[in-house]
């Protein structure tokens, strides 16, 4: 009968197994470290969306009023964004788009970029650059400006929350 302690290769097999377990543990820790930021951001956004879903922005007193709307009567690009998120959380896409179509597009863009960031972090490929190219910033600024101007014109009444 052969005892494994008497076998000359038994120490090597144990060390190899320990090294493999150690490598798997290091890999798991590295993946967890890479996912910390995307999962933290996702958790924060989910908590905020959950709050907006639970506390109806249509009822006064729960959220501050838009100062631009209050003092000038003009709708800012964010007016209706919370109502749109509330409707979106309750599965009413038509009401969400009616409240603020630009905000709904922004929520979709955020979800897509967050998913790309998470997958890239999981694969170890790095994150998504938080700073878009200057041409993208200018285009986004022009889009937001156009949306704001059009929603405050009589012809853009469909964009008013």
pLDDT, tens only, 106-147: 999 999 999 998 998 888 877 676 667 899 999 999 999 999
Quick one: DSSP state of residue 7? S
Supply the DSSP symbol for 133: -
State what percent of residues in the chain have pLDDT above 70.
81
CB 52 within 8 A of CB 86: yes
Mean pLDDT value of segment 40-59: 95
Distances (CA, A) of 19 to 5, 24, 87: 19, 9, 52
Of 149, 89, 88, the residue nearest 97 (C-alpha) = 88
- Whether 1 shows a pLDDT value over 80: the answer reads no
User: How far is residue 12's CA from residue 22's CA, in Å, rounded to a whole number?
Assistant: 15
Instruction: Output helix, strand, coil percentages for the chain, rounded to the nearest 5.
Output: 70, 0, 30
31 pLDDT band (50/70/90 cuts)? confident
Residue 48 has pLDDT above 90, yes or no: yes
Distances (CA, A) of 43 to 38, 68, 121, 124, 129: 9, 30, 16, 21, 20
What token pair was written down for 45?
């956004």
């Amino acid at each position: 009968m052969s005892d494994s302690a008497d076998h000359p290769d038994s120490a090597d097999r144990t060390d190899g197994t320990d090294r493999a377990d150690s490598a798997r543990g290091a890999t798991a820790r590295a993946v967890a470290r890479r996912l910390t930021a995307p999962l933290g951001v996702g958790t924060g956004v989910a908590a905020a969306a959950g709050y907006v879903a639970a506390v109806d922005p249509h009822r006064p007193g729960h959220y501050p009023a838009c100062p631009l709307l209050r003092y000038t009567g003009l709708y800012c690009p964010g007016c209706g964004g919370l109502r749109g998120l509330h409707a979106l959380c309750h599965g009413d896409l038509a009401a969400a788009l009616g409240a603020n179509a630009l905000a709904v597009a922004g929520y979709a863009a955020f979800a897509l970029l967050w998913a790309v960031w998470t997958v890239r972090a999981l694969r170890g490929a790095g994150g998504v650059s938080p700073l878009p190219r200057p041409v993208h910033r200018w285009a986004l600024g022009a889009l937001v400006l156009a949306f704001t101007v059009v929603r405050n014109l009589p012809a853009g009444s469909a964009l008013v929350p």
